[in-house]
Amino acid sequence: MTDCVAPVESHTDDRFSAYRLVQTAAFVSFAGVSVGMGVEIVRGAAAFGVFWLVVVALVAYTAADFVSGFVHFLADTFGSPETPWLGRAFILPFREHHRDPTGILRHPFMVANGNNCLVALPPLLLVWLFVPVATSRTGYLTGGFFLFFSVAIFLTNQFHKWAHTDEPAGWVRAFQARGLVLSKSHHDIHHVSPFDTYYCITVGWCNPLLQRIRFFERTEAVVRRFVPGVSREKPPAGAGARAPSLLS
Ligand SMILES: [Zn+2]
Ligand SMILES: [Zn+2]
């Protein structure tokens, strides 16, 4: 997501800042809204059952995985750190991550996850405020989707960080071994030059299919052909090709 969904950790230093305050406020708000939505869903489950909620949860988790990959693909493929507005805040962290994959391990929780929290909060808040989750079947499933989707987006960079951790906690390894979160062996496929496959970093369920249908390759070709301002030429393969101006 941004990593909206992805490695949207800050590339600046970790000093306390106004921006960190905003991220912290977003995290507290996100936690509160998630709990509130969870309570609504528990009430809805009593009326509408849990079968379709489980289906919706799987769809939401898969959707978050796809979105994580699509955002990651955009940041890895187009523009540069000098791109106005998005360059330094959005593109640079992804490109730096290829050069320094373990840099993410040095980022504390809020640095690693604050931006994803910022993007996950607004849609969840809107659904919580305006959708009758506990009293309507459609609202119940809509609320379930957005809760699971938003939480998955929020956790994506944490899952990504664990995939770069040599010895994560035992319960994290258990989740990784069962394919319930992104695993190191799966994500390592992306970290091979020219970094143009297996972009999905929530759990990776979408990666094999997207690779088989050459989704990102074809999307890149379409964007390069039709989107004004995007170079028609694909950069040459190589580690520096996608991050030409990042190396200090
Ligand atoms: Zn990448
Ligand atoms: Zn990575």
Is it the case that residue 242 has pLDDT exceeding 60?
Answer: no
pLDDT above 70: percentage of residues in the chain: 88
Indicate which ligand has the atom closest to the C-alpha of 163.
Answer: 2
Indicate which ligand has the atom closest to the C-alpha of 196.
Answer: 1
Domains of the chain by residue range? 18-225
Distance 216 CA to ligand 1 centre (A): 12
Distance 79 CA to ligand 1 centre (A): 14
Residue scoring higher pLDDT (165 or 234):
165
Indicate which ligand has the atom closest to the C-alpha of 94.
Answer: 1
- Per-residue pLDDT, averaged over 185-193, amounts to 96
Instruction: Quote the pTM value.
Output: 0.87
Please report the sign of the dihedral spanned by the C-alpha atoms of residue 180, residue 181, residue 184, residue 187: positive
Q: What is the pLDDT of residue 235?
A: 66
Q: What is the pLDDT of residue 240?
A: 43
Distance 131 CA to ligand 2 centre (A): 36
Is it the case that residue 195 has pLDDT exceeding 80?
Answer: yes
How far apart, in Å, are the Cα atoms of 224 and each of 48, 74, 77, 118, 232?
Answer: 47, 12, 10, 30, 5
Is it the case that residue 165 has pLDDT exceeding 50?
Answer: yes
Residue pLDDT, tens place only, 201-218: 999 999 999 999 999 999
Indicate which ligand has the atom closest to the C-alpha of 96.
Answer: 1
Q: What is the pLDDT of residue 3?
A: 44
Contacts of 143 (CB under 8 A, 6+ apart): 37, 40, 41, 44, 127, 128, 131, 133
Indicate which ligand has the atom closest to the C-alpha of 2.
Answer: 1
Q: In this structure, which amino acid lies at residue 66?
A: F
* Separation of first and last alpha carbons in the chain: 27
How far apart, in Å, are the Cα atoms of 141 and each of 32, 36, 120, 124, 149?
Answer: 20, 15, 18, 13, 12
Indicate which ligand has the atom closest to the C-alpha of 68.
Answer: 1
Indicate which ligand has the atom closest to the C-alpha of 195.
Answer: 1
Compute CA 186 distance to the chain's CA centroid, rounded to the nearest angstrom: 16
Q: What is the pLDDT of residue 243?
A: 42
Is it the case that residue 234 has pLDDT exceeding 50?
Answer: yes
Residue scoring higher pLDDT (229 or 26):
26
Distance 201 CA to ligand 1 centre (A): 9
Query: pLDDT grade, residue 14 (50/70/90)?
Result: low
Residue pLDDT, tens place only, 95-104: 999 999 999 9
Distance 193 CA to ligand 2 centre (A): 12
Distance 108 CA to ligand 2 centre (A): 16
